[in-house]
Each structure stands twice: as C-alpha cells, then as structure tokens.
A = this chain, B = another copy of it.
Amino acid sequence: MADVAARAGVGTITVSRALRTPERVSAEVLERVHAAIEATGYLPNLAAGTLKSQRSRMVAAIVPTLRSAIFAETVDALADGLRAQGLQLLIGVSGYSIEAEEAILRTLLGQQPVAVVLTGTHHAPGVRTLLRARRLPVVETWDLTEDPIDRAVGFSNFEAARAMTCALGARGYRRIAFVGTPPGIEQRAAQRLAGYRAAMAGLGLEPDVAMLDELGVTIASGERAAEALLDRAVPPEAAFFVNDVTAFGAVQVCQRRGVPVPEGLAIAGFGDFELARASNPPLTTVRIPGGLIGATAARLVLERLAGDVGADPAAPRGVDLGFEVISRRSA
C-alpha cells in the first residue's frame, strides 16, 4: 500500500479511502490511485484491515452437509445475496453433529466474521453464549423457535408434517406409516416425526413409525424401506416418507413389484424436489422454500448489518416462510 501511495503521490490513508470510501476522495486523486494500483498489481491485505477495524467482510455459515441438494441450494442462495454487498462466505460443514458445530463455530469466530448463519435451532449449550457475548448478527435457518439466538428464518417442520399427515387422513387412509431417519441426528426430521405423531393422535389413529437404514437419505434406502413395508403381513395403506428422495425410491419399488400407487400403497414425500414431479406417478409432497431460506437469511444478515447490531428488540425475530401441501397422484 505504501508503494501505491508513493506512486500516486499521496498518503497511504488516501489509498485506503480510495478503496473503502471512494466518495470521500477527489476524482483526480482517485484516478491516480487506481492507476498506481493497476501498475503495481496491488491487492489489499484484508487481514490487516480486519485486525484494525475489527470488521471483516466474511459471513460464517455452518451446514450439516452439502451433499443434500436442499442445503446446497440454501447456501448457494445465501452466497448470492451476500455477494451483492461484497461479503464472502466462510463455510463449515458439521456432519449433523452439534458438538462439531460448536467447535467449528469457535474457529470461524476467530476469523472475525461480521455475521453467523446456522442451520437449525438446536445447538450445543456453548453456542448461544458464544454468539450472544459477541453481539453478532446471527440467523438460524430451516426451523423456527420461540427463542432464537437472534433471528430465525424457515418454516415449521412440525406443522408441515402434521398438515401432510392430516391430508392423508382426510383422504381416507387409516393405516398411515411414517418412514423417518434414525432418531437423534437430523433435527428437522425429528420435528417431522413429531408432527406426524401429533396428527395421528388428532385423527385417533395408531402411529406406525419405520426407520430408514442410513442417514444419507438415498433413493436406495427408500427402496429398502418400501420393501420392508410391503413385505409385512399387513402393509400400511399409506406411507409418508421423510423426504422426496426416499419416497421416490418407494414408488420405484412399487412399480417393480406391480403394486399400484396409490391404490396398493399411497406414498407421500417431503420437499417437492424436482424428483417429485418426475416420479411416476408424481409425488404428493410438501413444498418447502429451500432457496428462499438462503435468500432471506442473506437479507436478514444485511438488515442487521445496516441497522445497529443489538438494537431494535421490537423487530420480528422470526420469519416464517411457510410450506404447502402439494397433491399429486401418488397419494
């Protein structure tokens, strides 16, 4: 920066201002500075700026995985919304472990991010303390809660699963099974299971919960779960899968075994992924706003950064993006 300043015949602070707040530098000087930057190939050391100003240009985000299309979509939309303001994404992948999440958060916080975006509302005990102490803008995504750390954006997985289960009940199905992931890992999936249970209780029906044999929700694991259901002495009339990928697998199995869908087995999914429309018959499912969650998270971060952090306790703390039960032919 000293080189650039010397070349442009100005002080280093003017170079800094030309980069950070060009409107406070005369047009003539600005031009000289830019020419000098060009000539020297100067790239500012952002670590130094961060150290002095105590503000980086990074937003830390932690997701359970990027292998699930839906989280990847959210992150993509988040990156998109932040890029417009010159903010970069520092990504941590927790592998669905809240302990890993806390450890990763500690490292990421060391980089002095200006905001933090988390997945879910269930965190290790230290996380809330860590974040509240720093008075950083924090956005929790994918689920809502009574008491967010700061801001939350998502929808109620509980209500969404309840709505779908009720829709199945309204269609006359009585023996409705739920096929979920092993408990204690994916929080959103646990919420969906709870919503299913609540709906079944409301309908006066017996809950019937089956588990996928792996966490990585694949078409193949859905296929295996469907096989197990169909092999029962008394198979259910309807099966509500924790997501579209596994539901799609179930449809494939029915097709192969000659079980008509929905007459032999009604199948519902969750997510309204592209696969849902491509399925044959197309899947009855719940549409959830994956991309919109990322875009909204970006908006919330930017709003919090614009307004003063820690202020405005009256502002709405949660954004409910809702969901939609999509009736197609599979149920």
Name A's B-contacting residues (CB within 8 A). 41, 43-48, 50-51, 56-58, 65-67, 69, 72-73, 75-76, 79-80, 83, 86, 88-93, 104, 106-112, 129-130, 133, 218-220, 245, 248-249, 252, 255, 274-275, 277-278, 280
Can you list 15 A-B pairs, Cβ within 8 angstroms, ordered by A? A47-B51, A47-B56, A47-B112, A58-B90, A65-B76, A66-B66, A66-B76, A66-B79, A69-B72, A79-B91, A83-B104, A88-B90, A218-B274, A220-B277, A248-B278
In the bound complex, how far is the Cα of B274 from the Cα of A112, in angstroms? Answer: 39
- The answer on a CB contact under 8 Å between B280 and A255 is yes
- The answer on a CB contact under 8 Å between A89 and B91 is yes
Tell whether A43 pairs with B109 under 8 Å between CB atoms, given A79-B91, A83-B93.
Answer: yes
Copies per assembly: 2
In the bound complex, how far is the Cα of B75 from the Cα of A42, in angstroms? Answer: 29
Contacts of A109 in B (CB 8 A): 43
Question: For residue A95, which residue of chain B has the nearest CB?
Answer: B80
Contacts of A65 in B (CB 8 A): 76
- The answer on a CB contact under 8 Å between B67 and A88 is no
- The answer on a CB contact under 8 Å between B79 and A277 is no
Beyond A88-B91, A89-B92, list 9 extra A-B contacts (CB 8 Å): A41-B129, A43-B130, A46-B112, A47-B112, A66-B66, A66-B79, A67-B69, A89-B90, A220-B274
Which one of A75, A111, A245 has the greatest number of beta carbons of chain B within 10 Å? A111
In the bound complex, how far is the Cα of B129 from the Cα of A41, in angstroms? Answer: 10
Question: For residue A134, which residue of chain B has the nearest CB?
Answer: B43
